[in-house]
Amino acid sequence: MDFLPSRSPRFVRLRRCAAPSVLLATGMLLGASCGSGTEPSAAGECDRAIVPYPDAPTQTGDVADVHDPAIAREGGSYYVYSTNDGIPIRRSADLVHWERLGRVFADQLPGWAREAVPGVQAPWAPDLSFFDGRYHLYYALSTFGSPRSVIGLATNATLDPAAADYDWKDGGEVVASQAGSPYNAIDPNVAFDTDGQPWLAWGSFGGGIMMRRLDASTGKLSTTDTRLHVLAARPVEQAIEGAFIIRHGGAYWLFASFDFCCRGASSTYNVRVGRAEQITGPYVDRDGVPMTQGGGTRVLVGYGRIRGPGHNAVLVDGDREWFVHHYYDARENGRPKLQVRPLLWADDGWPLVGWPYDGSAAGPASGTVAVAGQWGYWAGSEPARSVELVAGGQAKRCDAGGTWSFQAPSLTLHWTGAAGAQTVSGVVSADGQHFVGRDDSGRVVRAYRISGS
């Protein structure tokens, strides 16, 4: 919701943040001991089982200082737009290597911005969509700690700067907020219903996530349907923002970023999701808790060098879906960077966010993949520890034993130990080297292959 200058002349987002609660020790996150309630001997064994987090691959080229990415594909190129002076533009042919292409606004801001929002320094959180024959770029204008915010619009016939008809047209103000408004007019996202009708979601922090219908011919709020829909809110914690809505499997999915961004390596941003039958909600999480009451099923949390991942976009690219977000690199003093991951779907129909994409095979495993062997395994932001999947279906962990079963791409583990019984279900990657799933409590569980078939 708020901004503060960072590396001059660049700017990145800063919101009201709690004191950092995550520390580093020998390059790994300190988390709860392996399996609360275990005996001291088991705890010691779990300490000995700690393994490094994988050095997750990330995108290459000009990917630093990318915050709040929006993505689209035109022809053979992918384009990412992000928060900063004039809305920087980057392009890639493969989703891995990115080059800088300039920015949307030559003068850093549209001409009307400073009068509309005194003190504004840079556009925030762009959103990119295509309808009515043009690309629509929505963005936010605001200042640190102020409820005076405006969502603006620019349109273009193409994203290719070399095209003859490439020209960003200023569309002006779309929605605004001020002191006393029930929302803060930032973090726009356009979603489409089954009729192709565009809707605009926006909002941040205490005001929650809102939605209004758009007029497709103008790109502005509808004057015939003026109902304001509340999609999500956190009545106690408040920190929720960065909505992105897609349709998949006959349902609408609302992704939102919880907790605090913009504290570098101490950022606690994480992405959660809810499901609805109608684009306007109600959205509920995997446990049936409404997102208007703080509900949200975790899909991406920080680990290792990847801190505070959030403000995602989703690109539907043929038969694949890509989850695009920023994170703060703990090895580079918390510098924000771009990351692209495959979006996967579990047997229960809920989304999972895969491993950072490096150009190798993406998506779920086929029936030829074997999973027996030693894996580095962790839940949430716990330390990674070694587990063994023994051929024949036995599973071994420092504080628990159990069984595993695999029917590509789905891997299910049943653990039994001092902390009680628990089931973990998820998806193995196409190359058989990674796993992502959830446990019974909804924590994101990840694993990477250390050795084995």
CB 265, CB 204: distance < 8 Å? no
Q: Which of 65, 68, 285, 399 is catalytic?
A: 68
Would residue 68 show up in a list of annotated catalytic residues for this protein?
A: yes
Question: What CA–CA distance (Å, rounded) separates 137 from 158?
Answer: 11
CB 254, CB 232: distance < 8 Å? yes
Phi, psi at 284, each rounded to 5°? -130, 155
Whole-angstrom distance between the N-terminal and C-terminal Cα of the chain?
47
DSSP string covering 365-405, please?
--TT----EEEEEEETTSPPEEEEEETTTEEEETTEEEEEE
Q: Which of 62, 127, 187, 241 is catalytic?
A: 241
Would residue 317 show up in a list of annotated catalytic residues for this protein?
A: no
Residue type, 349: G
Alpha carbon of 45 to those of 174, 366, 384, 385, 391: distances in Å? 58, 34, 13, 10, 23
CB 210, CB 183: distance < 8 Å? yes
231: left (phi over 0), alpha (psi -120 to 50) or beta: alpha
6: helix, strand or coil: coil
43: helix, strand or coil: helix
Residues with active-site annotation: 68, 241
